[in-house]
Each structure stands twice: as C-alpha cells, then as structure tokens.
Chain A
C-alpha cells in the first residue's frame, strides 16, 4: 500500500510568497531611497526612519500573500518547478535590489 502524494499547494504558497516578500522589500528599499515623499510616508517609527516602514510593509505583503495563496492552493497539486523558479527569480531580484550600488544604478545616480 502506497501513501498518496500530499498536495504541494501549501508548500508552493510558502515558497512563492517568501520570494515575493523579498522582492517587495528590495523594491520598497530602492523606492524609498529615490523618493522623499515615499520615504516620509514610510517613516512609521521616527527613530528608525523609513527603514521601519519599508520592512513593516514588506513583511505585511509577504504574510498577506502567504495567507491568500495558502487558502487558494490548500488542496491543489501545482507545477512546482514553475512556482519555485518564479520564487527564486523574486528572491534573486530582492537580494540584488538591497545592494546599494544596484539601487543607485536604477535611480540614475
């Protein structure tokens, strides 16, 4: 007797949302660096400055994305290789965007 393969939807949701959360962090970091208005809007905790808003919003987006995808993909069997590839692209972009010289390049500095 073989054990049925468990649905990979919940795992795919966790992986993809984590990748997108990292990407959101990178995008917000560069955007806040390039826009004084956005930096001011993200200044949630004055002693930490815009970093407080950048990280709070990125984490909120990550968790929201995780919850939504986990509910939608709860019992689904997905093409995990595609989901995983997308997650790694997001992760790589997120890592790259946090590197200041790359952000400066995008901002034309």
Chain B
C-alpha cells in the first residue's frame, strides 16, 4: 500500500485541515445557536476556557487549510505541463484538455480557490467576538444574529471549497513525488 508525497500532503490539506475545519465550523454554529438562547444570554456567562480553545483550534485549522492549499497543493495542481508530458501529473491541464472535464477547473477550481478564503476570515471574526467580546454578544440580539450569520457563511464557504476540492481531486488527483510504503511490500 503506497502513497506519494503529493497525495499525502493533499490528504493533510483536505482531510485533516479542511475536513476538521468544516466539522469544527458546524460544531461552532450549533454552539452559537445554543448560546444565543435568551435564558443563556440573560445569565451573561463569560467564555469558558474549553470554548476558547475550541474556537482557536477551529481558526487555526481554517488558516492551515487555505495556506497549505494555496502555497503547496495549488502549485502542483496548476504546474505547466511540458510538451509530451504525462498529463496525469498535471491535473489542471488534464482537466482542461477535454471539454467534458474542463468545467471541473473553469468552474470548480476557479470558485474554490477564492471562496475558500472567506471561511477562515469569517471564522476568525466569530472566534474573536466570542472570546474577547462575550459581553457584547450577551447584551445584544443584533450582535448574536450577525455572528451567527457570519458563522453560517464560513460553513457555506468551507463546504463549497471542500466539496469542489474533493470532487476535483477524485477526477484529477494531485500525484507525484517520493513514494511512501505504508503497508505490505512494493513487489
């Protein structure tokens, strides 16, 4: 059972950072819904330490996902294929070489590469308010609605990016580099 270096890094980007970020944002949204109930707000509870740790971890995962994607995986994806090269090592060119698959890049990747960044930006803002300005959250229904709205937007952006990323990587996987033997023998 083998895994190439690029496959491993792509899995870390998408499944570890991106996947856990998506789950964490959804969890945060549910937490915010629970905290926004009127009786809880009336209690004016400060942020509990575990909530702060959870939100900081969520934000770190979000930034790790977009930065690793843009700086490591995306350059492998978009690398220019030399004439006569095996296109399976050049996913963008593999997809755009045929009209039936070009949409995966022209719509999917073009959308994903930009919309993904909205998720950690919104998640950072949400976490900041919940950790540093909990009193304002407790005091105002308008603040609670705004924070919930941006948390929902973060989830939407992460879901779009993650969904397209998974589908594109299934259609034209990022491959290459050193091979790691995970189990069994290569022969």
Q: Which of A14, A49, A84 contacts B125 (CB 8 A)?
A: A14
Q: Which residues A72-97 have CB closer than 8 A to chain B?
A: 80-81, 84, 87-88, 91, 94-95
The number of chain A residues with a CB under 8 A from chain B is 39
Q: Report Cα–Cα, A51/B115, bound state, in Å.
A: 11
- Whether B121 pairs with A62 at a CB distance below 8 angstroms is yes
Say whether A98 faces chain B, with CB atoms less than 8 Å apart.
Answer: yes
Task: Select the stretch in B32-40, B51-59, B68-76, B168-176 that faces chain A.
Answer: B68-76
In the complex, which residue of chain B has the Cβ closest to the Cβ of A91? B153
- Whether B117 pairs with A84 at a CB distance below 8 angstroms is no
- Whether B118 pairs with A95 at a CB distance below 8 angstroms is yes
If A48-B71, A84-B142, A100-B111 touch, whether A11 touches B117 (CB-CB below 8 Å) is no
- Whether B133 pairs with A10 at a CB distance below 8 angstroms is yes
Contacts of A88 in B (CB 8 A): 146, 149
Chain B, interface residues (CB within 8 Å), range? 35 or more
Contacts of B137 in A (CB 8 A): 11
Say whether B2 faces chain A, with CB atoms less than 8 Å apart.
Answer: no
Q: Report Cα–Cα, A65/B172, bound state, in Å.
A: 39
A66 to chain B, nearest CB (A): 8
- Whether B117 pairs with A8 at a CB distance below 8 angstroms is no
If A8-B136, A14-B128 touch, whether A81 touches B121 (CB-CB below 8 Å) is no
Q: Report Cα–Cα, A48/B68, bound state, in Å.
A: 11
A80 to chain B, nearest CB (A): 5
If A11-B133, A80-B143 touch, whether A55 touches B111 (CB-CB below 8 Å) is no
Interface string of B70-94 (1 = CB under 8 A from A): 1100110011000000000000000
Residues in chain B within 8 A of chain A (CB atoms): 44, 66, 70-71, 74-75, 78-79, 106-107, 110-111, 113-115, 117-118, 121-122, 124-125, 128-129, 132-133, 135-137, 139-140, 142-143, 145-147, 149-150, 153, 156-157
Known: A6-B136, A11-B143. 16 other contacts (CB 8 A): A8-B136, A8-B139, A10-B136, A11-B136, A15-B150, A25-B121, A45-B71, A47-B75, A47-B78, A47-B79, A48-B71, A80-B146, A91-B118, A94-B118, A100-B107, A100-B110
